[in-house]
Amino acid sequence: MQANTENQDVRKREMGKVSSIISKLGVYVLVIALMILGTIISPKFLTTSNFMNIIQAVSLLGIVAAGVSFVTYSGNFVDMSIPCIMAFSGMIAVDTLKYGIVVSILCGLSTGLVIGIINGTVVGKLKANPIIWTLSVAFVGSGFMRWFYSGKQIYPDVNGGAAAEVFISLSRTNVFGTIPLIVIVMIIFMILGQFVMTKTKFGKQVKLVGSSYEVAKMTGINVNGVVSGAFIVTALTASIAGIFLTSLAKTGAFYNGEGYDFNAVTAIVIGGMTLTGGRGDVVGVLGGVLVIGLLSNVMTLIGINTFSQSIVKGIIFIAVVGINARSLRKLGRDDA
Amino acid sequence: MNEVFSLDMKGVSKQFPGTLAVDNVDFQVKAGEVHALLGENGAGKSTLMKMIAGAFSDYTGQICVLGENVELCSPSAAKAKGVGMVYQELSLAMPLTIAENVLAGRLPTKGKIFIDKKAMREQTIECLKRVGLGHLDPFSCIKEISQQEAQLVEIAKTLGNNPNILVMDEPTSSLSREEVKLLFGIIEKLKKQGLAIIYISHHLPELFEIADRVTIMRDGKKIGTYNIDEVTTKSLVEMMVGRPIDDKPIKVKNQVLGEEKLRIENLTRNGFFHDVSFNVRANEVLGIGGLSGAGRSELARGIVGADAIDSGKIYIKGKEVRIKNMSQALEHGVAYLTENRKEEGLALRITIGENILAPLLKKHTKNGIYSAKSGASEVLEVMKELKVYPPDPTVTVGNLSGGNQQKVLLGKWVATKPQILILDEPTRGVDVGAKMVIHDTIRRLASEGNAVILISSDLPELVALSDRVKIMKEGRFIGELIKEDLSEETILLAANGEGDKLSEDIYAS
């Protein structure tokens, strides 16, 4: 009798293993499928330069997503103030170019850090709803920028002097001759993110808080600190992406970074991280970012215009959320 | 023609991926009987009951209700066929009123648009009267009534659909002794009205009070159905676990008590507990008895810093300490096993190993890098001691049976090697096998020079494990029972503020 149940349970566990491998590979299956599709559709697809294009196009998104994934992982859904942080960091960096490039970048990063600390404190310590709070920050921040700069855009080459050239070239520098600096930064952040999430104490704490806030608290985890940390990480990566974006656009403007919040969530969810927290990893998020890049590229090659592209992206987002929820329920993992 | 059963299940099975949760089971319930369904956690009782409730559309076998062959493929189909479910955890919407909950889905209306408040009041009172709660205001919120009343409202809600079959899953797990008596009276009444009642409980003595027949399940199969007078507690347990057991709980000889580990002086959290003082020594298990709501869990939360205390002092090994949160409690060697494992105990979505190592993150971090490997042997060690099944630390905790989850929860705190272990209902809702393992571990911990504080509503457990029992009532310690005087009766009497065995509460060391 006992042996019988053991056999059954072994089978159950093996099934679980297969399903978990599939659910882990999930997003990369999509990546490969899109690559095959692209190869069939256009001979231009399978070239080094096209691939570099794809990766360069999503590198900023990748930097942002690597950071936001910590907020998602901690069970706080998403940081809606990302666009605001990106724009604000960029504008401050441009504004302080007159003091030199180092000061400018440090000021830009500090902007992100300050907003991150505010978000972390309010959501972590004061237990505000993360979406409502960060959305409010986004409104206040963007209003402040418009008021402070009188609704104008600012340009590095006007304000900056010598440092301006360096600032603008940030996003145009290639390392080893061929690989853009932005891509290198994204790859570093992905590796760093994956490492921190899976191999460090902080990562494990975020996972526990995301899996169950109350359990983490009663287990002796400093839950406030962990949630604050997740928001600070997110804000810092967003401000780095914001500085690159401003450099790329040669313009500091309050609307820089628009749409990065939703795109980051899309990448995170496609990458297999659940919005309720505690599940998924940065490798998956990278897959999600690649899917978004490949999708745009393939659709452009087919000749679908930008507006229709966003419809397709939205539909895929809905489908992925649906499939994820369903398979988790099938696996018996949906909270049990 | 045979007798027509209220519920007649013939050869039903339910397959989950990789396991046969219910394996070719025949199960009959007569009208006007209380039929107990017994089995260890994971034996298939819950699956069988979910089948009746219409939770599965892919079961095999035949189900007849009142002689009519039915397909219970959805909860609404089951409801329409007269199946009513009362779950262990309340399924009432807290912010809504009693009436809105009881009449959910069938609110009386005027002209199909406006709610008919008068009819609502009448219908609700009608339902409430059946469970002896006719005096409640139908328009007060669920939040405003007691846990026990809420449990009864839940039953009233189910009765409102006029079921023929009523399934009750552990209805007494959060009730105190008197409240259970009240509930049994109501069950008797419903039985006389011709309802077929299926009663699930781990609390065996209860069954002999209330059940007419009992069906035992093990490993997805039915072991047998008996009249209640054909079985004894011992034979039931043996059928559940599938092997003979020693019926006497091992009463370990009085340990020689060691040094004082924890002393509490005049601890107060206004409104929850007042002027509580006690001490507990090495090798000692101090029981804390009392009715639900006496403030026992709140006291434990106050000691470990989960809630701020208003006044009082805590001494660990003679030194005064201030504990502000769980992390500091752990640093002082105090571990607290919370009573609700699903909310505060275990993160169900992560693995056994991750849960057990959760309090030990710091210990296994070197130079900022966390290594689960360095904790792997500790995990396996506690899993082995507690006989966690399956013995695989990579299994998600949510997939374990309740008994095994509770073992993992205890394992998580045992792994921290606490000197002072506070246990809050360590075996609530677990089966006999798991209970024995958990008790053995508690005994081992105490015998190794640690102090254990045991909060439990399970009287046999309190009697079997404690060296002495403090009785708490309305937030105060009203006395102490020494080992020689410990029995279920003395604790029960004392908890109600009666009994002559209760000594004056002078805490002496």
Domain boundaries, chain A: 60-285
| C-alpha distances in Å from residue A259, one per residue of A73, A187, A255, A314 | 21, 22, 10, 13
Asked if residue B283 and residue B231 are part of one domain, the reply reads no
A335/B398 touch (CB, cutoff 8 Å), yes or no: yes
Nearest-CA distance A1 → chain B (Å): 8
Residue A157 — pLDDT band, cuts 50, 70, 90?
confident
How far is B465 from B249, CA to CA, in rounded Å?
A: 9
Asked if residue B308 and residue B224 are part of one domain, the reply reads no
Q: Looking at chain A, which residue has its C-alpha nearest residue B332?
A: A220
Nearest one of B245, B219, B214 to B231, comparing CA atoms: B214
How far is B298 from B302, CA to CA, in rounded Å?
A: 6
Domain termination residue (choose one: B241, B276, B302): B241
Q: What percent of chain A has pLDDT over 70?
A: 89
Q: Which residue has the tokens 């000594």?
A: B503
A211/B306 touch (CB, cutoff 8 Å), yes or no: no
B347/A211 touch (CB, cutoff 8 Å), yes or no: yes
Considering only CB atoms, which chain B residues are within 8 Å of A208?
347, 350, 354, 358, 361
ipTM: 0.85
Range scoring the smallest mean pLDDT among A180-194, A314-328, B248-262, B333-347: B248-262
Considering only CB atoms, which chain A residues are within 8 Å of B343?
212, 214-215
Considering only CB atoms, which chain A residues are within 8 Å of B362?
201
Q: What is the pLDDT of residue A1?
A: 34
Does the residue B507 lie in any domain? no
Two tokens at B18? 């990789």
How far is B21 from B3, CA to CA, in rounded Å?
A: 29
Q: Where are the alpha helices (DSSP H) in chain A?
A: 2-41, 48-73, 82-95, 101-120, 130-148, 156-159, 162-169, 181-199, 201-211, 213-218, 223-249, 260-270, 282-302, 306-330
Residue A268 — pLDDT band, cuts 50, 70, 90?
very high
Beta partners for residue B25, in sequence order: B12
Nearest-CA distance B349 → chain A (Å): 6
Q: What is the CATH number of the domain that holds B127?
A: 3.40.50.300
Does the residue B253 lie in any domain? no
Asked if residue B73 and residue B184 are part of one domain, the reply reads yes
Q: What is the pLDDT of residue B151?
A: 83
DSSP state of B252: P
Asked if residue B441 and residue B332 are part of one domain, the reply reads yes
How far is B472 from B233, CA to CA, in rounded Å?
A: 30
Pairs across A and B, CB distance < 8 A:
120
Angle at B35 between CA B34 and CA B36, to 5 degrees: 115
Q: Looking at chain A, which residue has its C-alpha nearest residue B412?
A: A219
Out of B343, B350, B365, the one facing A278 most closely (by C-beta) is B350
Q: What is the pLDDT of residue B144?
A: 84
Q: What is the phi/psi pair of residue A161, to 5°? A: 75, -140
B347/A336 touch (CB, cutoff 8 Å), yes or no: no
Q: Does B141 touch chain A (CB under 8 A)?
A: no
Q: Does B308 touch chain A (CB under 8 A)?
A: no
Domain total of chain B: 2
Nearest-CA distance B454 → chain A (Å): 18
Out of A9, A212, A220, the one facing B326 most closely (by C-beta) is A220
Count CA atoms within 13 Å of residue B383 on its CB side. 23
Asked if residue B206 and residue B287 are part of one domain, the reply reads no
Nearest-CA distance B376 → chain A (Å): 15
Q: Which domain holds residue B63?
A: 7-241
Query: What H or E segment, with its residue span, contains residue B189?
Result: helix B177-192
Instruction: List, as ranges, residues 223-242 from B with C-beta within 8 Å of A.
Output: 242
Asked if residue B15 and residue B131 are part of one domain, the reply reads yes
Whether A155 and A98 have beta carbons less than 8 Å apart is answered as no
Does the residue B255 lie in any domain? no
Q: Where are the alpha helices (DSSP H) in B332-416?
A: 352-357, 373-385, 402-414
Considering only CB atoms, which chain B residues are within 8 Å of A226?
none
Instruction: List, as ranges, residues 20-59 from B with C-beta within 8 Å of A.
Output: 20
Does the residue B29 lie in any domain? yes
Q: Looking at chain A, which residue has its C-alpha nearest residue B393?
A: A13
Q: Does B307 touch chain A (CB under 8 A)?
A: no
CB atoms within 10 A of CB B504: 7
Respond yes or no on whether the N-terminal peptide bond of residue B390 is cis (omega within 30° of 0). yes
For residue A3, pLDDT beyond 60 = no
Residues of chain A that touch chain B, judged by Cβ-Cβ distance less than 8 Å: 1-2, 4-5, 8-16, 199-201, 203-205, 207-208, 211-212, 214-222, 278-279, 330, 332-333, 335-336
Asked if residue B461 and residue B337 are part of one domain, the reply reads yes
Asked if residue B485 and residue B367 are part of one domain, the reply reads yes
Q: CA dihedral in degrees (A85, A89, A92, A97; nearest 10)?
A: -170
Range scoring the smallest mean pLDDT among A15-19, A195-199, B224-228, B444-448: A15-19
How far is B98 from A188, CA to CA, in rounded Å?
A: 57
Does the residue B427 lie in any domain? yes
Asked if residue B204 and residue B108 are part of one domain, the reply reads yes
Cβ burial, residue A276 (10 Å; 0-12/13-18/19+): middle
Cβ burial, residue B277 (10 Å; 0-12/13-18/19+): middle
Q: What is the pLDDT of residue A4?
A: 38
Asked if residue B271 and residue B227 are part of one domain, the reply reads no
How far is B305 from B324, CA to CA, in rounded Å?
A: 5
Disruptive mutation site among B50, B346, B361, B423 for chain A (greatest number of A CBs within 10 Å): B361
Domain termination residue (choose one: B172, B207, B241): B241
Asked if residue B272 and residue B212 are part of one domain, the reply reads no
Q: What is the pLDDT of residue B340?
A: 87
Out of B346, B396, B399, the one facing A215 most closely (by C-beta) is B346
How far is A224 from B368, CA to CA, in rounded Å?
A: 19
Out of A207, A218, A221, the one facing B350 most closely (by C-beta) is A207
Higher-confidence position of A286 and A20: A286
Instruction: List, as ranges, residues 238-297 from B with C-beta within 8 Å of A.
Output: 242
A336/B395 touch (CB, cutoff 8 Å), yes or no: no
B347/A278 touch (CB, cutoff 8 Å), yes or no: yes
Q: Looking at chain A, which residue has its C-alpha nearest residue B341?
A: A215
Asked if residue B318 and residue B215 are part of one domain, the reply reads no
Two tokens at A40? 């069939």
A15/B219 touch (CB, cutoff 8 Å), yes or no: no
Considering only CB atoms, which chain A residues are within 8 Å of B329?
220
How far from each other are the two terminal CA atoms of chain B, in whole angstroms?
72
B306/A218 touch (CB, cutoff 8 Å), yes or no: yes
Query: What H or E segment, with its residue span, contains residue B465?
Result: helix B459-465
The pLDDT profile of chain B, 509 residues, written as one tens digit per residue, is: 457 889 999 999 988 766 788 999 999 999 999 999 988 777 888 889 889 988 888 889 999 999 889 988 888 889 889 999 888 777 788 888 899 888 888 888 888 888 888 999 999 998 898 888 888 899 988 888 887 788 888 888 888 888 999 999 888 776 777 778 888 998 999 999 899 999 988 778 888 999 999 999 988 899 999 999 999 888 888 888 777 765 444 455 556 788 999 999 999 999 899 999 999 999 999 999 887 778 899 999 999 999 999 999 999 999 999 999 999 999 999 999 998 888 899 999 899 999 999 999 989 998 888 988 889 999 999 999 999 988 999 998 988 888 899 999 999 999 999 999 999 999 987 888 899 999 999 999 999 999 999 999 888 899 999 999 999 988 899 889 988 888 877 887 787 776 666 665 444 33
